[in-house]
Amino acid sequence: MKIDRLTPALGAEVTGVDLSRLLDQSALDATNDALYKALIDHQVIVIRNAAIEPLAMAELGAGFGELGARHHRYVTHPDSDDVVILEWKDDDEPDAAEWHSDMTYRREPPFASILKAVVVPPSGGDTLFASMYSVFESLDPGLQRDLGELEAVHDMGTFRTPAYREGGIDGLEKALIDAGNAVHPIVAHHPVTGRPYLNVSESFTTFVIGLSAPQSNRLLMMLFEAINRPQHHVRIRWEPNTLAMWDNRATQHYAVADYLPHRRVMHRVAVSTDRRA
Ligand SMILES: O=C(O)CCC(=O)C(=O)O
């Protein structure tokens, strides 16, 4: 296995691993161990030409931990309930063109996600990832200390729009209850590396506990602006069968919605727990 770092902030391209040929459990376990180490070191790993079917993709994910932080919205693949299909085309409104970690409105958000490109547009549809270690380390040390005392509320954010459009106010209330909300520390510590990272996102973090609304808004806007700085990022260009896996704890991602009306189809497996942590 060969690993090439993509930017100083995060990301690595992994070559020399053929996921379509992991025929027995011991080969799968050894590959999972090596990929896990690369994931912890680089936060996002990318494998090209990973022509694996949905069932094999779920099996790959299950090697890292329990699957099943089922999303309240997305449809799943007919061959495997663990594989979500993300498909956008025509005049759809893709919902991931904003910085987020997945499902932080849950008390225990998923540990990682695996995403494979199935249909890619002629150009565009890239995904950016940000290292939240790098963002935290870029903040003034005094601010880092103050943030260490604070917690913030996370909820379903802009998923309100489809819930309201489809079900009116009753649909919205039901979606808010189904998705739930959570309070997380603004500075979290990675359970494996112990490193601190910034744990707020423009998608799902709505309010800082203990501050007035104007204070909370000002602080969050400043942090969201810090996340947006390109030195914290890597940008992944997809080809069919490009597979990426990210550590959802200390990264955020942003799926650029610049390709419509062309079609883009991705398969995603969410891994809720980290078996090796
Ligand atoms: O489609 C993508 O590139 C990313 C989708 C996304 O944001 C997600 O799976 O959470």
- Banded model confidence at residue 71, pLDDT cuts 50, 70, 90: low
Residue whose Cα lies nearest atom 1 of ligand 1: it is 255
Q: Of 77, 100, 106, 154, which is the active-site residue?
A: 100
Q: Smallest Cα–Cα separation from 240: which of 19, 50, 15, 11?
A: 50
pLDDT at 119 exceeding the cut of 90: yes
Q: Of 95, 102, 247, 274, which is the active-site residue?
A: 102
Residue whose Cα lies nearest atom 10 of ligand 1: it is 102
* Percentage above 70 pLDDT, the chain: 97
Single-letter amino acid, residue 105: Y
- Please give the pLDDT value at position 257: 97
Distance CA 14, CA 44 (A): 10
Top mutation candidate among 101, 127, 237 for ligand 1, by most atoms within 8 Å of CB: 127
CATH code for the domain of 167 = 3.60.130.10
Going by their DSSP bridges, the two strands 44-47 and 12-15 should be labelled as parallel
- Please give the pLDDT value at position 72: 58
Query: Which ligand 1 atom minimizes the distance to the CA of 127?
Result: 3
Distance CA 120, CA 240 (A): 6
**End-to-end Cα distance, the chain:** 22
Q: Is residue 232 part of a domain?
A: no
Q: Is residue 98 part of a domain?
A: no
216 & 254 share domain:
no
Mean pLDDT of 58-71: 85
Instruction: Give Cα 100 distance to the centre of its chain.
Output: 7
- Banded model confidence at residue 14, pLDDT cuts 50, 70, 90: very high
80 & 59 share domain:
yes
Q: Smallest Cα–Cα separation from 104: which of 198, 181, 196, 193?
A: 181
Lowest mean pLDDT among 63-72, 198-207, 251-260: 63-72
Mean pLDDT of 113-123: 98
- 236 alpha carbon – ligand 1 mean position (Å): 12
**Helices vs. strands in the chain: H and E counts, helices first:** 6, 16
pLDDT at 23 exceeding the cut of 70: no
Condensed to tens digits (0 to 9), the pLDDT of residues 140-178 reads 999 999 999 999 999 999 999 999 999 999 999 999 999
Distance CA 48, CA 243 (A): 6
pLDDT at 261 exceeding the cut of 70: yes
Q: Is residue 187 part of a domain?
A: yes
177 & 147 share domain:
yes
268 has catalytic annotation: yes
pLDDT at 245 exceeding the cut of 90: yes
Q: Is residue 6 part of a domain?
A: yes
Query: What lines the ligand 1 site, CB under 6 Å?
Result: 86, 96, 102, 113, 115, 127, 253, 255, 266, 268
Distance CA 143, CA 125 (A): 35
If you write DSSP's letter for every residue of 75-121 in order, what string do you get?
EEETTEEEEEEEEE-TT---S--S-B-TTTTSSS--SEEEEEEEE--
- Please give the pLDDT value at position 259: 98
| Number of neighbouring beta carbons within 10 Å of residue 21 | 9
Phi, psi for residue 208 in degrees, rounded to 5? -95, 125
Residue 13, domain extent = 2-91+110-120+238-271
- Banded model confidence at residue 69, pLDDT cuts 50, 70, 90: low
Q: Is residue 191 part of a domain?
A: yes
Per the prediction, the chain carries an average pLDDT of 95
* Percentage above 90 pLDDT, the chain: 89
- 198 alpha carbon – ligand 1 mean position (Å): 20
Mean pLDDT of 80-97: 94
Query: Which ligand 1 atom minimizes the distance to the CA of 264?
Result: 1
146 has catalytic annotation: no
